[in-house]
Amino acid sequence: MTEPGSVTIEQLDGDGVRAALPALAEILRDSVANGASVGFMEWNTQADFESFWHGIAAEVAVERVLLFVARDESGIVGTAQLHPVGKPNQPHRAEIAKVLVHSQARRRGIGEALMRAAEAAALALGRDLLVLDTDEGGAARRLYSRLGWTEVGTIPRYALMPDGRDCGSTFFYKELG
């Protein structure tokens, strides 16, 4: 049970992701509508967002992706993913992806809590080198720096903003333990 004002972080299995799909699609839609460069454009539809999460549910079911959600009294308000790298020569590495908090739930420490959960899960799996990239101009860059991630550099024109403008991506790594 979630107390009013409190937030819990949970890891979902594949069925859990499918059950949470409307909330996850809404969080993705909201982030894109608010200008985040997270793989989608402003012309993408609800069907596109739902299709993305269906694919993630399948990956979670076979443990290729670990998915975390943040829940408050209103329901699921944030999410983050850990992708253990499947290559035989990188058994110690994982990537963090799609750290998203609904715009109405930001600046309450939920992004940080999701990151801490993903990092703890990585360490428990023996994945002690983490990598991520993020939009060079977004709030996430400050979050990762604050949490001890090392900024490697920015690749210009790596992706597009939802409105079609160029967007550089800033790469980070963190060694755990």
Ligand X SMILES: CC(C)(COP(=O)(O)OP(=O)(O)OC[C@H]1O[C@@H](n2cnc3c(N)ncnc32)[C@H](O)[C@@H]1OP(=O)(O)O)[C@@H](O)C(=O)NCCC(=O)NCCS
Q: Which residues bind ligand X (CB under 6 A)?
A: 31, 36, 38, 99-101, 106-112, 134-135, 138-140, 142-143, 146
Report, in Å, the least distance between residue 173 CB and ligand X. Answer: 14
Q: How far apart are CA 93 and CA 36, in angstroms?
A: 26
Considering beta carbons, is residue 12 or 99 the nearer one to ligand X?
99
Considering beta carbons, is residue 61 or 173 the nearer one to ligand X?
173
Considering beta carbons, is residue 4 or 88 the nearer one to ligand X?
4
Report, in Å, the least distance between residue 97 CB and ligand X. Answer: 7
* Cβ proximity of 138 and 36 under 8 Å: yes
Considering beta carbons, is residue 100 or 122 the nearer one to ligand X?
100
* Cβ proximity of 158 and 38 under 8 Å: no
Report, in Å, the least distance between residue 109 CB and ligand X. Answer: 4
Alpha helices (H) along the chain: 14-19, 21-33, 46-61, 110-124, 140-146
Q: How far apart are CA 90 and CA 52, in angstroms?
A: 26
Q: How far apart are CA 3 and CA 146, in angstroms?
A: 27
Considering beta carbons, is residue 57 or 133 the nearer one to ligand X?
133
The residue of the chain with the least Cβ separation from ligand X equals 111
How far apart are the two ends of the chain, measured CA to CA in Å? 32
* Cβ proximity of 172 and 134 under 8 Å: yes
Report, in Å, the least distance between residue 149 CB and ligand X. Answer: 11
Report, in Å, the least distance between residue 88 CB and ligand X. Answer: 27
